[in-house]
Amino acid sequence: MMRLRLRRRDLVCQQAVELVTDYLEDALSGADRRRYEAHLAGCPHCTEYLAQMRKTIELTGGLTPEDLTTQMQDDFIALYRQWRGDHPTD
């Protein structure tokens, strides 16, 4: 159902939303890419949808690492010192 064959020349929206990642990954054939872009040109909703997928990727990419607790930091320092003890000089 999802990987609807692109038999017809024109895409419908339900097909277009399944192509977004392949489009962004540059994994569409030239013909499918042109069909997708032609669909976007005439469909504000799918254009908005693509923009939202891009924004989603940007927001996910903006997540920053959480900091270590003091306890964890101490545990890792202990782990490192133990290793240093076993490997006194390089």
Partner 1 sequence: MGQDTDAELLAALRGGDERAFVTLVRRHHTTMLRLASSFVPSAAVAEEVVQDTWVGVLRGIGGFEGRSSFRTWLFRILVNRAKTAGARERRTIAVGDTAAVSDTEAAVAASRFAGRGGWLSPPERWIEEAEDRVDAGKLADFIRTAVAGLPDRQRQVVVLRDVEGLTSEEVCGVLEISESNQRVLLHRGRSRLRQAIETGYGRPS
Interface residues toward partner 1, by CB under 8 A:
1-3, 12-15, 17-18, 20-22, 25, 27, 45-46, 48-49, 51-53, 55-57, 59-68, 72-73, 75-77, 79-81, 83-84, 90
Neighbours of 28 (CB within 10 A): 18
Shortest distance in whole angstroms from residue 14 CB to partner 1: 4
Shortest distance in whole angstroms from residue 37 CB to partner 1: 18
Q: Give the C-alpha separation, 25 to 21, whole Å.
A: 6
User: Distance from CA of residue 38 to its chain's centroid?
Assistant: 23
Shortest distance in whole angstroms from residue 19 CB to partner 1: 9
Query: Comparing C-alpha atoms, which of 64, 67, 8 is closest to residue 39?
Result: 8
